[in-house]
Amino acid sequence: MYYTPNAHLGIALSALLIARVGYRYFTASSGSWPPQPAFGPGNPGSWITLLIFGMMAGYYVTYAIGLIRWSRGSGT
């Protein structure tokens, strides 16, 4: 049993997240003044990064739920 999700959408979301994390790393390590706030429990980062991560997580959770529903409906 397997299901092939939309590869273009998965690759696009993954590339967007990797690019955003790379951008955040570059801006935090560039030595700009004033210094960027540190990441941690009190400061999770930019809302854009969290939005992109949420879209990617939602995509894969929706895919997993759809796969479970499809497997139960097929009678196997």
Cα-Cα end-to-end distance for the chain:
9
Number of domains in the chain: 1
Q: Is residue 2 part of a domain?
A: no
Residue 75 has pLDDT above 50, yes or no: no
> For residue 76, what pLDDT is reported?
47
pLDDT: which is higher, 28 or 1: 28
DSSP one-letter code for 40 = B
Residues 6+ away with beta carbon under 8 Å from 34: none
Q: Is residue 27 part of a domain?
A: yes
- Crossing angle of helices 7-29 and 47-73, in 10° steps, is 160
Mean pLDDT (whole number) for 71-76: 66
Q: Is residue 1 part of a domain?
A: no
> For residue 37, what pLDDT is reported?
59
- Note down the domain range covering 20: 7-73
Q: Is the Cβ–Cβ distance between 1 and 71 less than 8 Å?
A: yes
pLDDT digits (tens, 9 = 90+) for 3-57: 667 789 878 888 888 888 888 778 777 665 555 555 555 555 677 778 888 888 8
